[in-house]
A and B are shown apart, each in its own frame.
Chain A
Amino acid sequence: MPTADLFTAFAVAAARQPGAIAVVDPDRGSVTFGELEALATRIHGLLALRGVRPGDRVAIHVQKSIEGIAAILGVLRAGAVYIPVDPHGPVPRNAFIMHDCGVALAIVERTLQPLLAPELATIGADIPLELVELGRDGGGVSNMPGRDGPAPAPVARGADDLAYVLYTSGSTGRPKGVMLTHGNALSFVGWCAGVFAPTPADRFSSHAPFHFDLSILDLFLPLTRGSTLVLVSHEVGKDPARIAELVAAHALTVWYSAPSILTLLAAHGAPAPLAFPSLRLVLFAGEVFPVKHLRALQRRLPHPRYFNLYGPTETNVCTYHEIPPDIPEERTDPYPIGRTCENLMARVVAPDLGDTARGEEGELLISGPNVMVGYWGLEEQSARAFVSGPDGRRWYRTGDLVVEAPDGTFTFRGRRDRMVKKRGYRVELGEVEACVLTHPAVAEAAVVASATEDGVRITAVIASRDGGRISLIALKRHCAERVPLYMVPDQFLFVPALPRTSTDKTDYQRIQEMA
């Protein structure tokens, strides 16, 4: 019988090779599979002591670290659901997320507590906090909250039980929680194992923070297959020169991130040609990789295989495409998002939800074991996210417009709504608009996105109350206190009044032209 929950899948790998290195934190040390399991057991002991029960939600508000991974595994061992909350995110948003999904307890890095605790009090969220100190010795037991003594037995979970909830940008101005089960994650990880064939000799980068869906592959593929995970810190992860040092120094074999950081690596990574002899796979996901930059990277680093992975948080990865070696000089179109993953099914439908003929543009629908349960506490939005097919199956509406080629390969054409991807993150332009509108000097605002050579640029077009300019610094600071940095507009334009259509709606087409 296949393993039904994530912790058991990890424990099976840990039992096979307890002495192998599971996680390396380049600045702070490493832990073996056996040590990591022991840390998770301590966390479980603590959660049991605090009354956390199977199915309860537990927030993980810790930067990427051995301690954070142990906490996630401890929560899963207890049969609880982990809620990763961005340690660099705006405090009100973080507090909202914890309150929204009713966490029973939050595991919080000590330095984050002074701002978080009063915010939780302000919104009336009575959430006990367990503090983690990230000391110099990564994963040292002394840093960890936990409980020694007889450990409770791991709580087995079924494929349909929730494993984690990932919050993404919501169009109405509040983030929404995507609920994913053990079965969703294991199906995805199993598919990855089939295609990328990880072995205990592999060393994976872990670039994505815990709250970003790319982290599911980073964490659970190596940890369930006995490979090593090498953490890329928040600071290193933004700096191509330091990334190049890290890939070389730790002989990484698999890199996975959004294209934006790979673009920087191609352009600014190192003065000498990049030479990472160990690197065998470069995986990217989250947004379109401009071909010019992908080609530059491939020329500097020709030997790994390159894969474009596509999928919203709601489905995990659902299509994939291997980039051919030697991208031709004349190619300017981005590569396709590829063919359907072998464990899923895809359809392309017209606006009336009827199937399109092959080759016609339509919305991509996905069905299969990777697909989420729904959005936490949002029944109506959850219902709208799915349609039932003629076959009686539940199909998730990705909102992405695609065209299917005769060989079954999908090409991304755009969105049917106002969501964009920036640095791999989803941004609902409506949420950015709602944020800009809370500035007291703003009377009207419309937010649009445009593609540039360096990626997506978000522009806010604003009519102020007194008709004049508003300080850019004031606007940026206002937004940065309320939404994650990748959602803060890059550009602000000021107009006396927003352009209107003949039916008196905001004229987004003209606003798009202004941007």
Chain B
Amino acid sequence: MEDTQRIVKDFILAQFLPGEDPAALEPTTPLVTSAILDSLATMRLVSFLEERFGIQVEAHEASVDNLNTLDLITALVRSKR
């Protein structure tokens, strides 16, 4: 679980928050509703999750309810494995 979250966090920091202090990205930091992930970034994140964790995210699951924080993303990945 923690490992999953770290992998997702590293991806988001590297792709969308270059140069950010890793400590500033907390498990509950809003990502979609604070414009850190726009729709293109969200699609890239979903592709990454599918490939990295060997899961299938359905179109209706790729929503703000499941992707807005690291905690939510981790829970989504976990529910699929």
A264 in contact (CB, < 8 A): yes
Q: Is the Cβ of A454 less than 8 Å from the Cβ of B17? A: no
B1 in contact (CB, < 8 A): no
CA of A235 to CA of B32, assembled, Å:
12
With a cutoff of 8 Å between Cβ atoms, the chain A residues found around residue B33 in the complex are 480, 485
Given A242-B59, A474-B24, check contact A485 B38 (CB 8 Å). Answer: yes
Which of chain A's residues 468-505 have a Cβ closer than 8 Å to chain B? 469, 471-474, 476-477, 479-481, 485, 488, 490
Report A335 CB to chain B, min CB distance, Å. 23
Given A242-B60, A488-B35, check contact A473 B25 (CB 8 Å). Answer: yes
Which of chain A's residues 440-456 have a Cβ closer than 8 Å to chain B? 454
Report A352 CB to chain B, min CB distance, Å. 41
Q: Is the Cβ of A473 less than 8 Å from the Cβ of B20? A: yes
CA of A473 to CA of B22, assembled, Å:
10
Q: Is the Cβ of B34 less than 8 Å from the Cβ of A239? A: no
CA of A300 to CA of B77, assembled, Å:
32
Q: Is the Cβ of A471 less than 8 Å from the Cβ of B20? A: yes
Q: Is the Cβ of B20 less than 8 Å from the Cβ of A268? A: no
Report B50 CB to chain A, min CB distance, Å. 13
Given A473-B25, A473-B29, check contact A241 B59 (CB 8 Å). Answer: yes
Q: Is the Cβ of B24 less than 8 Å from the Cβ of A477? A: no
What does DSSP make chain A's interface, helix, strand, loop or mixed?
helix
For A238, give its contact among B17, B20, B25, B39 (CB under 8 Å). Answer: B39
CA of A238 to CA of B37, assembled, Å:
12
CA of A296 to CA of B60, assembled, Å:
25
Report B47 CB to chain A, min CB distance, Å. 9
With a cutoff of 8 Å between Cβ atoms, the chain B residues found around residue A473 in the complex are 17, 20, 24-25, 29, 34, 36
With a cutoff of 8 Å between Cβ atoms, the chain B residues found around residue A119 in the complex are none
B14 in contact (CB, < 8 A): no
Contacts across chains A and B counted by CB atoms under 8 Å: 51
B43 in contact (CB, < 8 A): yes
CA of A264 to CA of B35, assembled, Å:
18
For B32-74 the 0/1 string (1 means CB < 8 A from A) is 0111101110110000000000000001101110000000000
Q: Is the Cβ of A472 less than 8 Å from the Cβ of B19? A: yes
Q: Is the Cβ of A476 less than 8 Å from the Cβ of B35? A: yes
Q: Is the Cβ of A235 less than 8 Å from the Cβ of B35? A: no
For B59, give its contact among A245, A469, A479, A490 (CB under 8 Å). Answer: A245
CA of A264 to CA of B38, assembled, Å:
12
Q: Is the Cβ of B39 less than 8 Å from the Cβ of A472? A: no
Report A499 CB to chain B, min CB distance, Å. 21
Q: Is the Cβ of A264 less than 8 Å from the Cβ of B40? A: yes
Closest chain A residue to B33, Cβ basis:
A480
CA of A376 to CA of B42, assembled, Å:
37
Q: Is the Cβ of A471 less than 8 Å from the Cβ of B24? A: yes
Which of chain B's residues 2-30 have a Cβ closer than 8 Å to chain A? 17, 19-21, 24-25, 29-30
With a cutoff of 8 Å between Cβ atoms, the chain B residues found around residue A488 in the complex are 34-35
With a cutoff of 8 Å between Cβ atoms, the chain A residues found around residue B30 in the complex are 477
For B17, give its contact among A472, A479, A481 (CB under 8 Å). Answer: A472
With a cutoff of 8 Å between Cβ atoms, the chain A residues found around residue B62 in the complex are 239
CA of A309 to CA of B77, assembled, Å:
42
Closest chain B residue to A479, Cβ basis:
B35
CA of A77 to CA of B68, assembled, Å:
40
Q: Is the Cβ of A471 less than 8 Å from the Cβ of B35? A: no
Which of chain A's residues 213-235 have a Cβ closer than 8 Å to chain B? 235
Given A235-B63, A471-B24, A473-B25, check contact A454 B40 (CB 8 Å). Answer: yes
With a cutoff of 8 Å between Cβ atoms, the chain A residues found around residue B29 in the complex are 473, 477
Report A432 CB to chain B, min CB distance, Å. 12
**A residues near B, CB below 8 A?**
235, 238-239, 241-242, 245, 264, 268, 454, 469, 471-474, 476-477, 479-481, 485, 488, 490
What are the nearest 8 A-B pairs in CB distance? A488-B35, A480-B34, A477-B34, A241-B59, A238-B39, A242-B59, A471-B24, A480-B35
15 contacts between A and B (CB under 8 A): A235-B60, A238-B42, A241-B59, A264-B40, A264-B43, A268-B43, A454-B40, A471-B20, A472-B36, A473-B20, A473-B29, A474-B24, A476-B35, A479-B35, A490-B38
